[in-house]
Amino acid sequence: MSQGSGDDELAVRHQELTKQRAALDRELLSVGRALNAMQPANKLPVELLIKIFSMIQVDNGEYTERWYSVAGVCKYWYEVANNCISLWRRVKLGSSIHLVDVSLARPDVTVEGVRGRLPDFVNNSPALERIRGHIMDNALRHIGKMAMLVEVLVVHDKRPRLSISEDHSEGYGYSNGPEEDDEDSDERGQYMDITTFEGRFTATLEIPVDSEMFPRLQSLTLITAIPSRFVPPPALRTLHLYDCVRMSLTMGAFLTLISQCGALEELSLRRFRPMDDHLPASIERNAPKWIHPIRPVALPEHLRKVSMQDIAPWTARLLEGMALPGRIYLLVAMTGGRDCLPLNRFWDKALHDAFPYSKAHLRPLRRADTVRIELDTAAIRYRIAAHSSNKQRENGAFMATSNNESVHRAKCIPDFLTDICKLFHKAPVTDLTVAVVGTLGKKADENHWATALKSLPRLRCLAVSLRVKTKPGCNDPLIDMLKVLGRPCSDGTEICPKLEALTLHFIDTNHETAMLPSVEDCLKGRAAHGHRVSRLIIALNRLSSKSADEWAAIEESTLERYKSLFQPYVETVCCGDASYFSQAGVKQQ
């Protein structure tokens, strides 16, 4: 009985999926016709890219969900839309194309050609080995030109499977044009489909990547795979290398490869091991002698983000040494595992010794104009992120993180402020966000705040969230900060004379009640000295249990209360959302 019930449910589910697939086909067909009608424009705006979020197929009575994605901004979208509907029926349209499907494992592969059916090749046979490179090269080149890919993901796992076949399915697909002899080519076309097969790929995946194959390739992700031929496409902006442990690539060859990516903006490495990167500890102690033969090359001009996770220390040190002065990088060192213990020690030592980041390649921080600073004493996390605006490019950034408890156990608000002062002394910082969570373990007096804020004369926007528990004998750090901010220093130096916006976040209503007199004194003092704050923003803790109407009423009442208190000293009072601080990595309770 249960078996019959299960079959009935399966049949109903299959019927529902068939209807969904039919509706999807109709939608794609209508979109293709709409795009085909845009022939005079020859272009498709990025905003009109189609998004299909899931595609469920049935294999051997089991429902498996496969995720693909395709996107591109092509010069002739009306032609591509008409030619690629068959391919796109099998994919999720988004920002990339994943030429991977490892859900099937067939003992052999069938390759169907345009002029007829080629023989079936037994897995790993010499015949298959001879034609595999030709098939992959031409098929990928064909797809690359047809869809104008912007992202490609190539996976090479322990049982690598990848092949190309052509499917004569009904619908709309790629047509070879009027010179095609196939009698049904005008009606059915030829479709590119990605299927799978078992193969004996070595650590170097035999898939070439070059500018001819992918002229508009912007992002490439290689998982346990390095192409046999890699000529970086001119538009390549993002390169991800994951699980490349046993690859036939030396460190010098890797550096040369990276230097050839002229447009590269983001480099991500995870479990990355060049073949000459496995060194015993005895050699590691004599690092300068070994590292000398490697000739560092200049990193690409536009590279702004380098993400490294579980990589060997030599890779980190070389990339760090290659960083160009005058640049601001985003360096993310996420380490773990026995193989990465040297890297853990290296990064912790770099963070501890380099504060306030005095090394040559970190000096660009002194030109940052936007800063986010976090201190989480509970998680022993300490992070500084700085952004420098640029009219031509998006913000660059540097970020350093560490979870080593021994390094940061002594970090508290006084040291925190001292580091701000040292790091950004005379820097053109205009925006500063300070988010602190934890317990105040050492007293921070007004002198610490005065020294730190005095070093930021160009500050225009200050946002503060100090969610700390004070011990006996310690003042609330927010009170000390407001006192310093509300009057000149003893030597007559004005504190943040250009400050225009002040954002405050209170822990709860009790904290708010205790802080309001200090806020009023601060605003009154600045107005009396001619440095009136233009905008006061109070960040509220939004509770999901309240509805939108309830929140609107709370904000209205809160605004009225604050306006009655502070309107004489500021031009505008408004309410903000405390999630602004959680975006900096500090969770709100």
Domain range summary for the chain, segments of one domain joined by +: 2-176+185-236, 355-582
154 or 540, which is more confident: 540
Q: Which pLDDT value is given to residue 536?
A: 87
Note the pLDDT tens digit of each residue in 324-382: 443 333 333 333 333 333 333 333 333 333 333 333 333 333 444 455 554 444 333 34
How does residue 553 score in pLDDT terms, banded at 50, 70 and 90?
confident
Q: What would the pLDDT profile of 473-495 be if each residue is shown by its tens digit?
A: 666 778 888 888 888 887 788 88
Distance CA 119, CA 137 (A): 19
193 CB-side CA count, 13 A: 18
Q: Nearest CA to 153 among 78, 231, 95?
A: 95
Vertex 60: Cα angle to 57 and 63 (nearest 5): 40
Minimum mean pLDDT range among 181-195, 311-325, 499-513, 518-532: 181-195
Mean pLDDT, to the nearest integer, of 96-121? 26
Which of 147-156, 302-311, 335-344 shows the lowest per-residue confidence on average (mean pLDDT)?
335-344
Report the predicted TM-score, pTM, of the whole model to 2 decimal places: 0.39
515: left (phi over 0), alpha (psi -120 to 50) or beta: alpha
> Which residue is listed with tokens 């035999």?
206
Q: Is the confidence at residue 497, as pLDDT, over 80?
A: yes
Identity (one letter) of the amino acid at 134? H
Give the Cα separation of 407 and 352 in Å (integer): 7
pLDDT at 500: 87
Residue with tokens 């034609």: 131
pLDDT at site 159: 29
Kindly tell me the sign of the dihedral angle through the C-alpha atoms of 434, 440, 444, 448: negative
**Mean pLDDT value across residues 128-132:** 36
Mean pLDDT of 565-578: 80
- Quick one: pLDDT at residue 153? 39
- Cβ atoms of residues 236 and 261 within 8 Å: yes
For residue 411, what pLDDT band results from cuts at 50, 70 and 90?
Answer: very low
Q: Is the pLDDT of residue 212 over 80?
A: no
CA of 414: how far to CAs of 100, 279, 477, in Å? 53, 41, 10
Judge whether residue 464 has pLDDT over 60: yes
